[in-house]
Structure 1
């Protein structure tokens, strides 16, 4: 039997985070006329995730199934692919195990889908719930942590101008995903070796966009995103920004026709190099002056932001070469299998 909506929660070692999410879903309002379910995709957890779900199933909502499945292959997109195959809903809402949906989230998702039949995917308004409040300077790049607030009005995404939303709090039509999203994506983690983990959600959405479906921002679907302190540390942020950059070339090419790509490759290469040089002169060079200690003490957080931006620019410049290297290794691997 087909349902209106499947809430798919992909999790890895989420025994401490899942209870908060499940409590939020258990207390959804105005869902009497909505047929929906909650599907937990355990992405190879080694903790008590399965036990937590079994305990919740005992006293769960009568008319809302709470189902559990296991995906042994590590990686967000492998877990989401499992969710797509197991889901019974016409719509699939992806909620991460650190996302706390507001009480009307299920209702808002179903209503938006009915009012916008051309929407192949639509995203939530995501607020950051920080363990440690970020500085004003860090807030300049905080949207990279899947925090999205584009106001109170719905907005149609145009990838070339306004980018794309993150996968957290995203709702997709199951038939659209099954028909247009390839079973094998490029920007995913494989065998513990991530090629460009920062672009896997965007890759899915670009395939949907290229098929002629609309992608929307729906502010009536609101979520609190729990951000632990370690995600504000320099090491994590720089790795994240480099990863986002490394996936950029593949995403750019998905927006182009095959005959446009050679010219675009040259243009992007020159343009990206110029951006690196300009950013270096404007933001990095001042540290080379004799008053370096004064500069660092006054602009410490700003330096982190500048370093993160430089990591993203460098990753973007090297992304076509990184992609070529990855494809070559994969070709050799497949020949040897």
Structure 2
């Protein structure tokens, strides 16, 4: 796979957001000798996303080539797969249509990936930029992709990163894909707010023995539009995003325990359930005596909603959790057999 950087933007009805995003990409300071390109995946947009992007990019004198491809099947995961297949370079920056990359992003991404050949995904730090002043409760307890992803630069102990701004090693992705990895999560689809595909991808690569890393020098601004700042939108985001739990939790447990034993899985799942219950009960009790309209009241309500949604998921998704654990165990065996044929790290 040729060393270089492919920036992939997956866009759905992004005509209003793209000008600033493309402008920041055009301002990249990339030294001579680093090949790079820009790919826009139009994911079944119903506005003039593709036309606007083409017109906007023509305003700049960038050394990067620019291509637009169309993915008629809705879903961020589907759009990303097309972007990955189109990319001609090994290092793919997953740039959302509202991510404004700092001018040294491409160069740092290239250097870090070159220096760490076992790194499959590299994450940066998103810095929130709000279209309008955010409510105090959201600024204090945001669930959007932003902020540090680890205490320091290096390997990420949790084996997961948010997808925005992340750099994927294409050769590693296709190694696990050819070994049998398939995303069970469609991720964001049109106006739906489901998510988790980025974490699933990290977990799948970690199962194969690749490193997930973070570098605080990689910085980008994450533009949050005013429509994402309402209380109603935030509650919907929490509830729809919770659907990924039944897929991600089995990955997490297997990576943490390194065991395919069912008893170990149930024990870990039970401990996680009681951990969330122990957090929820005193928090809910305190909330009853709070001023519901105060900043503290709103923040506490958000925490209660998140915990309550998670607790419900243990019951509503119990069958799916068991099924998906079997899937993840089988996947790891495939990865060990096809990627590391002389090594089997599974314990029983």
1:32 equivalent in alignment to 2:32: yes
Distance 1:156 1:185, change over 3 A: same
Is residue 11–residue 96 contact of structure 2 (8 Å, CA) maintained in 1? yes
Tell me which residue corresponds to 1:186: 184
1:94 equivalent in alignment to 2:85: no
| SS of corresponding position for 1:9 | strand
Is residue 120–residue 215 contact of structure 1 (8 Å, CA) maintained in 2? yes
1:201 equivalent in alignment to 2:198: yes
How far apart are residue 229 of structure 1 and its match?
Answer: 2.9
**Higher deviation after alignment, 66-75 or 230-239:** 230-239
Which of 199, 211, 216 is equivalent to 1:214?
Answer: 211
1:57-92 Cα shifts (integer Å, max 9, x gaps): 544436321100000111110000000111111111
1:156 equivalent in alignment to 2:152: no
Is residue 121–residue 169 contact of structure 2 (8 Å, CA) maintained in 1? yes
Distance in 2 (CA, whole Å) between partners of 1:167 and 1:2 is 23
Is residue 198–residue 240 contact of structure 1 (8 Å, CA) maintained in 2? no
Distance in 2 (CA, whole Å) between partners of 1:258 and 1:120 is 20
Distance 1:55 1:115, change over 3 A: same
Tell me which residue corresponds to 1:68: 68
Distance in 2 (CA, whole Å) between partners of 1:184 and 1:212 is 17
Matches of residues 137-152 of structure 1 in structure 2 within 5 Å? Answer: 137-142=137-142, 144-150=143-149
Is residue 243–residue 315 contact of structure 1 (8 Å, CA) maintained in 2? no
1:172 equivalent in alignment to 2:168: yes
Distance in 2 (CA, whole Å) between partners of 1:121 and 1:324 is 25
TM-score (norm 2): 0.80
Is residue 231–residue 237 contact of structure 1 (8 Å, CA) maintained in 2? yes
- How many residues align? The count is 318
Which of 235, 238, 247 is equivalent to 1:241?
Answer: 238
Q: Could you list the runs of 5+ residues in structure 1 that have no partner in the other structure?
A: 328-337
How far apart are residue 191 of structure 1 and its match?
Answer: 8.1
| SS of corresponding position for 2:203 | helix
Is residue 246–residue 321 contact of structure 2 (8 Å, CA) maintained in 1? no
Distance in 1 (CA, whole Å) between partners of 2:165 and 2:189 is 26
TM-score (norm 1): 0.83
Tell me which residue corresponds to 2:9: 9
Is residue 92–residue 167 contact of structure 2 (8 Å, CA) maintained in 1? yes
Tell me which residue corresponds to 1:132: 132
Tell me which residue corresponds to 2:106: 106
Distance in 1 (CA, whole Å) between partners of 2:150 and 2:202 is 21
Matches of residues 216-295 of structure 1 in structure 2 within 5 Å? Answer: 216-255=213-252, 256=254, 260=260, 262-286=262-286, 295=291
Is residue 91–residue 172 contact of structure 1 (8 Å, CA) maintained in 2? yes
